[in-house]
Amino acid sequence: MHFKPPYLDSEFIVKTSRSSGKGGQHVNKTSTKVLLEFSVLDSVLLNPDEKAMLLEKLAYKLTNNGLLQVVAQAERSQFGNKEIATKKMYALLNKCFVVKKKRKATKPSRTATEKRITEKKRRGLHKKERTLFLKNE
């Protein structure tokens, strides 16, 4: 599953507020910070399996009300921040549906094992010689 804009745009809730950061006097007058919210449970476009997967994988990002929130305030315009927030939201949702490859168990090669053991013996001998040297003094 791979979501692309504007598939879920109609279900996003956009809230704006005054942003911190660059903008001079302009920053005190305009609401450029964008908070994008998405209710996974109330989504009409997602099927129950997709909802369950999103709720499981994004549990740490959901609010008590079950909303997924993304904030953007890097740009000086509300439009720019809305685009950034939308991209972040889609990236977050798409990341949940990426299937991880299973790790194949491997065994170290014979050469690697022999190398490790000879290095261990060499190191042990070095330490043994050091203690013998200190006892003789």
Q: How many domains does the chain have?
A: 1
- Whether the pLDDT of residue 111 is over 90: the answer is yes
Asked whether residue 122 is assigned to any structural domain, the reply reads no
- Give the residue numbers spanning the domain of 33: 9-96
Sign of CA dihedral 54, 59, 65, 68: negative
Other CB atoms within 10 A of residue 46 CB: 21
Asked whether residue 111 is assigned to any structural domain, the reply reads no
* pLDDT band with cut points at 50, 70 and 90 for residue 84: very high
pLDDT score recorded for residue 83: 92
Asked whether residue 81 is assigned to any structural domain, the reply reads yes
Mean pLDDT value of segment 7-13: 81
Q: What is the pTM assigned to this prediction?
A: 0.68
Bigger pLDDT: 134 or 88?
Answer: 88
